[in-house]
């Protein structure tokens, strides 16, 4: 079981190159303006970044640095942060579902798919944050 946890922990490090790849697609017009399809590339960037954010939830959250301990020691701040982030993700998900089913314009539907992917990755991150706060408050993480 420990080997499986290590595998997932190491798999979470794929987050960083995937985030860079997603940023490449978003900022592609600055590098290659002649081969740029704006909505499709931005959507592809958001889908890749959503997948990357979802992969970050596989990380071993028992290893904390000084910065993480600082904000985890403030439970009101963490509850507020999780609540606000959750509301943003729920609003983004509802908005993107609404646009996917009501929009007549294909570029808007494509952009909504990218937003939905980003929101789904964020939900995995929120679940990890809630577990992290719960374990920190219970004293399981030192």
Q: Which two tokens stand for residue 20?
A: 């860079």
* Averaged confidence pLDDT in the chain: 89
Local confidence band at 119 (pLDDT 50, 70, 90 cut-offs):
very high
Give dist(CA 39, CA 52) in Å, integer: 20
Q: What is the pLDDT of residue 42?
A: 87
- What pTM did the predictor assign? 0.85
Cα–chain center distance at 94: 17
Q: In this predicted model, what pLDDT tens digit does every residue of 46-89 receive, in sequence order?
A: 999 999 999 988 888 877 878 888 888 888 999 999 999 999 99
């Amino acid at each position: 079981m420990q080997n499986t946890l290590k595998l997932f922990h190491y798999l979470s490090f794929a987050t960083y190159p995937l985030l860079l790849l997603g940023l490449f697609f978003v900022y592609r017009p600055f590098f290659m303006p002649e081969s740029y399809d704006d909505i499709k590339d931005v959507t592809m960037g958001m889908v890749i970044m959503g997948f990357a954010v979802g992969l970050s939830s596989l990380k071993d959250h028992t290893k904390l640095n000084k910065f993480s301990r600082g904000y985890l020691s403030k439970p009101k701040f963490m509850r507020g942060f999780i609540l606000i982030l959750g509301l943003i993700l729920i609003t983004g998900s509802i908005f993107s579902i609404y646009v996917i089913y009501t929009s007549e314009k294909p570029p808007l539907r494509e952009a909504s798919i990218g937003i939905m992917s980003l929101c789904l990755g964020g939900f995995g991150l929120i679940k990890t944050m809630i577990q992290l706060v719960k374990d920190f408050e219970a004293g399981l993480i030192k």
